[in-house]
Structure 1
Amino acid sequence: MSHESVLPWMLSVALLAVRLAVALALTPPLASFGTPAVVRMSFVTALAALTFSQRPPADLATTASANPAALPAAIATEIFIGALLGLGVQLLFAALALAGRLMDVQVGIALGSIFDPVSRTQSNVLGTLTSLVGAVVFFISDAHLQLARFIAQSLDLFPLGVAPTLDDPMQPLLAAGSMFSFGFALAAPVVMALLLTDAAIGVASRNMPQINVLVLAMPIKVLVGYFVLALAVVGWGPLLQRGFNCLAPLSGAC
């Protein structure tokens, strides 16, 4: 194989590796295991090389091999496309974190924090629980395979180094906005149950002043919150799986 044919192939692999690295870095379950950076880069480079083992070099890579000045713009484009590919999963886990935070505040345990292995940050108890539930559903629903399939298909949708053209430029922003409605929907049963519990406790304290509300309110709210959450989490699976079917806001699947 001559130098003229090897260089475009290597540039194609490098550009695809940039896209893969950014997309996987924004996917919380895949980016949360503390894998060394060298191992991650080796992994994405191997995936990129495997992808292009059955493909001809990208047109832009052939052009860039003769004109290196085109590479910076191509790399920036790949970073942008990779960010869009990983945005869908990131938004779903952000919605789960929002739901957990809302429930933590309503239950009254928002002051406590533990280590969240998914986001690798300090999080509240229910925030960590919702992240772990999302990670479990992500893998058992084969969403990680769907993400890999969509990344491979993105080479046809968005050729290497070619900036994507959006039919609706507001679509990524609308997808980001849907995070809030999705998070509120997940937390709604627990939040509503606890609001009714607060109202009941208020009525009881009004009619029975001898009750020590400050002592009884917290354990009652914790019990009610966990009980309603145990009932509500059963219905999360289909909702999350439907969300994972729309892994990227540009996929056109939703």
Structure 2
Amino acid sequence: MAGLELTRTCFLLATARFLPVLAVPALTPFAFVPVFVRLALLLALALLTAGVAPVHAGLAGMDQPIVLGMALLGEMAMGLTLALAVMLPGAAIGMAAKVVDVQSGASAVSIFNPAVRTMESMTGTAMQWVVSLVFFSLGLHLFLLRWVLASTHFAPLGSAVLAITPGTFVGLLGSQFLLGLAVVAPVILGLFGVDLAVAYASRSMPQANIYFVALPLKIAAALLLLAADLRYAPELIGRVFTQAFGAISTGGP
């Protein structure tokens, strides 16, 4: 394969691998970055990778469109696997935050997210912003860029392999959602104590409508507990991301 054709093929494969991690709004930590900036970053990294990354020995050229198409699909699957290290921590913490919404009674409030065009819960949205702030403040975005470039060493371009085994994926799911629940566990336990107090008051004064009296109290308690919990949350959130990156890296071939 000629040098120019090889570079062009590697560029296409690198673009397919990095696309989910850097450009897809639902998967990338750069979801709130303008789309043109994300695309420019994607193309720059793909061009850099095409010049220096190792390639698979049996890499197909443009004269083999079916084989090349299969390689592109494999690289896309590889990119989706790499995106799990970003998507799972956010999803785990967001799900745990929705538990707080339901428990506090704030689940009736929804916020529109224009990035993915969905309705999200109030506490879930707040925690997603906290996760994004922690991600960038800890420098994990730089680690992510180095990590996706380093993926070409344990999975050369055109090898069309997944970077994680099914067993590792199932274990990662369990550990991520457990750690996500631990981030907001103090808030959940505090609201449970408020529920116990409200239940005792309801039994003591059955003629009073305690639910509507306690609803503002529960929302205020949830906000106060969440504010106190966020003081200690960054360290645990960083641990969630570190574990995800490590699990996917060690689960590779």
Does TM, normalized by the shorter one, top 0.5? yes
Structure 1: gaps spanning 5 or more residues? none
- Structure 1 distance, partners of 2:141, 2:204, is 55
Query: How much has 1:244 moved relative to structure 2?
Result: 2.1
Contact 2:183 2:237 in 1 (8 A): no
The C-alpha deviation readout for 1:5-59, integer Å capped at 9, x for no partner, is: 10011100110011011222253431344515xx644432222112333456654
Q: Which residue of 1 aligns with 2:49?
A: 51
- DSSP-derived class of the 1:185 partner: helix
TM-aligned CA distance change 1:56 to 1:175, over 3 Å:
closer
Amino acid at match of 2:224: F
Q: 1:193 offset after TM fit, Å?
A: 1.4
**Residue type matched to 2:2 in 1?**
E
Partner SS state of residue 248, structure 2? coil
Candidates 110, 120, 123, aligned match of 1:123: 120
Instruction: Quote the residue 2:4 is aligned against.
Output: 6
Aligned partner letter, 1:12: C
Runs of 5+ unmatched residues, structure 2: none
- CA shift for structure 1 position 124: 1.1
1:117 Cα deviation from its structure 2 partner: 5.8
Aligned residue in 1 for 2:90: 93
- Asked if the contact 2:53/2:157 (under 8 Å) is kept, the reply is no
Question: 48-57 vs 179-188, which deviates more?
Answer: 48-57
> What is the CA-CA distance between 1:60 and the residue it aligns to?
4.1
* Letter of the 1:145 counterpart: L
Post-superposition CA distance 1:69-89 (Å, at most 9, x none):
420221111011101111111
Of stretches 202-211 and 155-164 in structure 1, the one that deviates more from structure 2 is: 202-211
Describe the shift of the 1:41–1:214 C-alpha distance in structure 2 as closer, same or farther (beyond 3 A). Answer: closer
Residue 227 of structure 2 corresponds to residue 216 of structure 1: no
Letter in 2 for 1:10: R
Q: Quick one: distance in 2 between partners of 1:189 and 1:16?
A: 43
Equivalent runs, 1:99-178 vs 2, <5 Å:
99-116=96-113, 120-164=117-161, 168-178=165-175
Would the alpha carbon gap of residues 219 and 120 (structure 1) be closer, same or farther in structure 2, given more than 3 Å must change?
same
Distance in 2 (alpha carbons) for counterparts of 1:209 and 1:197: 17
The amino acid across from 2:29 in the alignment is P
Q: Mean alpha-carbon deviation: is it higher for 19-28 or for 87-96?
A: 19-28
- Distance in 2 between residues matched to 1:201 and 1:80, nearest whole Å: 50
- Alignment correspondent of 1:193: 190
Report how far residue 96 of structure 1 moved: 1.8
Rounded Cα–Cα distance in structure 2 between residues aligned with 1:50 and 1:94: 31
Q: What's the TM-score, normalizing by structure 2?
A: 0.87
- How many residues align? The count is 248
CA 1:30–1:147 in 2, change beyond 3 Å: closer, same or farther? same
Which residue number corresponds to residue 232 of structure 2?
235
TM-score, length basis structure 1: 0.87
Helix, strand or coil for the counterpart of 1:115?
strand
Aligned Cα RMSD in Å?
A: 2.5
Q: Give secondary structure in 2 for the equivalent of 1:250.
A: helix
Q: Name whichever of 43-52 and 8-17 sits farther off.
A: 43-52
- Range 205-214 or range 147-156, more displaced: 205-214
Aligned partners of 1:233 and 1:116: how far apart in 2? Answer: 22
d(CA) in 1 for partners of 2:186, 2:77: 37
**1:252 paired residue number:** 250
Counterparts of 1:93 and 1:70, CA distance in 2: 35
Stretch of structure 1 that moved more, 200-209 or 233-242: 200-209
Q: Distance in 1 between matches of 2:164 and 2:98?
A: 35
